Structure 1
Amino acid sequence: MYSTFQPHPLLAAYVDAYWVSMATQFSQQRILPDTCADIIFNISDQPVTVGNNAIWIAPNTAFVVGTMTAFRDIVRQGNTGMLGIRFKPGGLHAFTELPLQLATDEHLLLSDITRDWHTRLVPLLEKASSISEKVNCLENFLLQRLPANNIVANTILESIHLIRQSNGNVAPAVLADKAFMSSRTFERNFLRIVGVSPKTFSRIVRFVSVHRELKKEKSATLLSLALDHGFYDHAHLTREFKLLAGDNPSCWR
């Protein structure tokens, strides 16, 4: 079972959704890059293993998953549950001020990132008896910590909007000019707030856009999808999909 819950309007600029995933039997799942970062709570008494290196997530543990630049496979035994906050790009940094490049492609213990969050949130979630109560705990916790206005962060968020609006086909130099920053300063701020460079972020946005179209437009050829989304040709699209999703694009129709 997988369900999502929309955030409070005051949090909508930072949080994409709260989500819960429950499994009653052994399961394997492939997670694809989506430009977001998550805080995830293993709310069951069973461990979860993640990735090719078999990262072991202990029961009743909270961890931070940074922006992903490649797929991850998750293996779950029976009776496991995970509850997550999926932050929009730049959203996690707004609350924690963690330099997000430190979390890229990583699973970090929440207690190592911010002990205050771990010591306050984990007991609250353990006491909550239902999923809706647990989600409310997360929501209220974030509402009490709404970030102050940050001019640099707002500028980067506007750049993120431009990248998404163009489906990842806007040059970093153009974004830096619009942000009134040098290319080096812009990239440094983007890395710190989002976790990846503007170029890598644009690659992931293009991938996400094509992946969405593959599921929606069954009749579209891979060549037309490649050209429409800024890839050089069919081969370029296929290489990117193998890197980001582990399979050829045709496997995702």
Structure 2
Amino acid sequence: MSFTNLLPAIDWREHIAAYWARKTEPDETSFARRVYADGCIDLIYNAGYSIAHFYPMAGQQMEIPLRPGQLYLGGTMTAYGVLKSDVGCLLTGIRFWPGGFYALFPKTTQPAVDSLIEFPNEELCKLMGDAENIDIRLDQWFADRLAPKPGKYDFAFLRKRMYNSGGQVSVEELAEEMFVSNRTLERIFKQNVGIPPKEFLRIVRFREVLKRLRNAPPAATKESLLQIAFELGYFDHAHLTNEFKKYSGVLPSELSHFYKTGIAGGLYF
């Protein structure tokens, strides 16, 4: 499978993380990839001629088909998922930072949490039908629209505050810094990312563990994971491991080994 990741124009980087394309090559019968729960939201278009299948792992397991010629909204995930595609599948996408989709398309994403739902938009379907120069076309399309509407509350500030803390800031601190009640803060989060702040902070903490594993020594020992668990507020090593597996589908030690060696040991990441 080939994967292309392109940065948007600088004007859109506050809201959009990347434009991307994923193609299953002719010599591959099928391809499966884990999709981590990282807090982002995607618009995904099937620009190929075969169906892809997404399997969210939160709650009751199900299969969601991504049909050719259809655009889908993939909401915030509270557990990892698996994306499978066959030969002839070309997926193109727009990956939004948390809160970025709501700033550009002021629509609730709650129905898309842990799922993919159809997102009818003929203009975007045409623009996303070809991976070549997709970044240029989409940058222009966003530029031709009205300026982003951040809304009454600045979710970009909340996102940066959470990321900078590694998920260690509390809900109460966030509410105090935004000059709102805890209930209002929960409403802000559900508008922007579809889930409550406590759940989202756990995802941010998982992202911080990922970052530390990438920068860790060649093998993550139990002692190093204990240190990470202590520094990031997990109860113990088991708590970190269980939560990490929920969001990624693998153990932290397995992912650390893959980062350092590129050897998957039969797993796909």
Same fold (TM over 0.5): yes
C-alpha change, 1:48 and 1:204, in structure 2 (3 Å) is same
CA contact (8 A) 2:34 2:249 kept: no
Of the three residues 61, 68, 74, the one matched with 1:59 is 68
| Counterpart Cα distance in 2 of 1:160 and 1:121 | 26
The match for 2:126 among 123, 126, 138 is 123
Q: Distance in 2 between matches of 1:201 and 1:209?
A: 13
- The CA deviation at 1:216 is 2.6
How high is the TM-score relative to the length of structure 1? 0.90
Match of 1:143 in 2: 143
Residue 202 in structure 1 maps to residue 211 in structure 2 = no
Q: Determine if contact 1:238/1:249 at 8 Å carries over to the other structure.
A: yes
- Paired residue for 1:162? 161
Q: Secondary structure at the match of 2:187?
A: helix
Match of 1:92?
101
User: Residue type matched to 1:22 in 2?
Assistant: K
Do the aligned residues in 1 keep the contact of 2:18 with 2:96 (CA within 8 Å)?
A: yes
Name stretches of at least 5 consecutive residues in structure 1 with no aligned partner: 112-117
User: How far, CA to CA, are the matches of 1:137 and 1:247 in structure 2?
Assistant: 36
Question: Structure 2: which 5+ residue stretches go unaligned?
Answer: 56-60, 257-269
Q: CA deviation at 1:145?
A: 2.0
Partners of 2:103 and 2:149 within 8 A in 1: no
Name the stretch that deviates more: 241-250 or 230-239. Answer: 241-250
Q: Tell me the C-alpha RMSD between the 2 structures.
A: 1.6
CA deviation digits over 1:196-227, x for unaligned, max 9?
21111110011111122223313452111211
Note closer, same or farther for the CA distance 1:13–1:57 as it changes in structure 2 (3 Å cut): same
Q: Percent identity?
A: 30
Residue of structure 2 in register with 1:21 after alignment: 22
Q: Distance in 2 between matches of 1:148 and 1:105?
A: 25
Distance 1:147-1:153 versus aligned 2 partners, 3 A rule? farther
Structure 1 Cα separation of the partners of residues 46 and 148 of structure 2: 30
| Superposed displacement of residue 103, structure 1 | 1.9
User: How much has 1:149 moved relative to structure 2?
Assistant: 4.4
In structure 2, the partner of 1:178 is 177
CA distance in 1, matches of 2:132, 2:146: 21
SS of 1:191 mapped into structure 2: helix
